[in-house]
Amino acid sequence: MNTIHIDVAVIGAGTAGLAAYRAAKAAGKSAVVIESGPYGTTCARVGCMPSKLLIAAAEAAHELRHTAPFGVHVDGDIRIDGREVMDRVKRERDRFVGFVVRGVENIPAEDKLVGQARFADNTTLQVGDITVHASRVVIATGSSPSIPEPFKVFGDRLIINDDVFAWDTLPRRVAVFGPGVIGLELGQALSRLGVHVRMFGHGNSVGPLSDPAIRDYAKAAFQSEFYLDPHAKIEHMARDGDEAVITYVNLAGETVTERFDYVLAATGRRPNVANLGLENTGLELDARGVPVFDATTLQCGKSPVFIAGDANNILPLLHEAADEGKTAGENAANYPNVKPGLRRAPIGVVFSDPQIAMVGKRFADLKPGTFVTGEVSFEDQGRSRVMLKNRGLMHVYADSETGRFLGAEWTGPRAENIAHTLAWSVQQGLSVAQMLEMPFYHPVVEEGLRTALRDAAAKLAA
């Protein structure tokens, strides 16, 4: 039995864990990073990067099919070679993973432990036959897909996002459950790559949107392209041979039975805390079994334990995991002198088409009667029409009293870029009037944003 004494033990070598390890070392402490799975991070291996690679292939196919309105004709059939598509996805993915793995290889061997970490008490971890006595611990164990029990009937026909990126070629028919961020991105991409896709949700939600008008617009935009029922009535689910069989009431009210090669469960993710042995610690746990923590310092109670990244489920996004990892690592190193870390303005993007974005406060978090909503439709927006990307609706929210810009929800072209302009404005605490003093080039999609801001300004003045 080996025993290690260390200042900071980090559980998980993902984005948050690696940032925490580096921050603890930079603060002059001894540290180890413990990993139970393959190195390379969720983002690079099975998350942000392979999903964007699949979407890029889908966009290429979609653009080719939609050249005719420009007077540009692609003669003959468009051929999508599933093997080549998946080969590029995996090749480029491996390249991104390689960068991360090389970074991990540069970490001294004595600072890395391989195995599943479990708490024996607040500051003692068991990793296989190694006992780690750490003065402080950072939990950075990420999250995993949460799969409702009834889906297990599909056996190995049931897949999660990780499985998609392991495909050697594209299947023919996929049922996607969950039109959230992951379901929408992957489902639309597969549909554009010629896969027969049926997307089912419940509770009418579409992506992360909370503004009903934007949600309805997005729903209609996606429904014009592939089958999406955000409030599906599923009557029966079964496995028959190599097929998943689903009986559902379709949008026309008919009961239909369809067969699929795979059922993709994109039904949400939950923090990886179940097998951590948290019951052996003195930490207070919430209803999901996650330690109760301070969202600014990431400290769990007054303990020397910190929690960062998807494991704490505040904002399960890559840049948040990196920021939180740094905060947790610094605070672990300086414990008990902890301080709030950097929290940037909220920003979220769905790489669907049209894209979806949210910045600042969500519509659902605003108190009715305290704000005005500026609106723009991208359907007649100049630059968007020029590019034939004129699908979208944007709402910007401003404080009725101060005119301060609070946030926005929208679906539309180039949302990934506009989202940054808006998130920076939220973080700078700008008012709508100040934002309208900024330059807007012509002709650009941002002129649509200006129209929404002008609408908000008029309502503030009324």
* Residue ranges binding ligand FAD (CB under 6 A): 11-17, 34-37, 41-43, 47-48, 51, 116-117, 140-142, 161, 182, 272, 275-276, 309-311, 316-319, 321
Q: How far is the CB of 374 from ligand FAD (least distance, A)?
A: 27
**Which CB atom, from 321 or from 453, has the smaller least distance to ligand FAD?**
321
Residue type at 340 in one-letter notation:
P
How far apart CA 53 and CA 125 sit, in angstroms, is 38
- Give just the sign of the alpha carbon dihedral 37, 38, 43, 46: negative
**Which CB atom, from 24 or from 432, has the smaller least distance to ligand FAD?**
24
**Which CB atom, from 136 or from 404, has the smaller least distance to ligand FAD?**
136
Beta bridge mates, 408? 359, 396
Looking at beta carbons, which residue is closest to ligand FAD?
Answer: 14
Q: How far is the CB of 269 from ligand FAD (least distance, A)?
A: 7
Name the helix (H) or strand (E) containing 397. Answer: strand 393-399
**Which CB atom, from 275 or from 421, has the smaller least distance to ligand FAD?**
275
- Only one residue has tokens 């001894």, namely 30
Backbone angles phi, psi at 101, to 5 degrees: -60, -40
Q: How far is the CB of 414 from ligand FAD (least distance, A)?
A: 16
**Which CB atom, from 142 or from 341, has the smaller least distance to ligand FAD?**
142
Listed in order, strand segments (DSSP E) in 262-364 are: 262-265, 269-271, 305-307, 347-350, 355-360
**Which CB atom, from 116 or from 377, has the smaller least distance to ligand FAD?**
116
Query: What is the C-alpha end-to-end distance of the chain, expressed in Å?
Result: 74
Looking at residue 344, what DSSP letter applies?
P
Q: How far is the CB of 42 from ligand FAD (least distance, A)?
A: 3
Q: How far is the CB of 258 from ligand FAD (least distance, A)?
A: 24
Beta bridge mates, 430? none
Q: How far is the CB of 448 from ligand FAD (least distance, A)?
A: 23
- Give just the sign of the alpha carbon dihedral 433, 434, 435, 439: positive
Looking at residue 316, what DSSP letter applies?
-
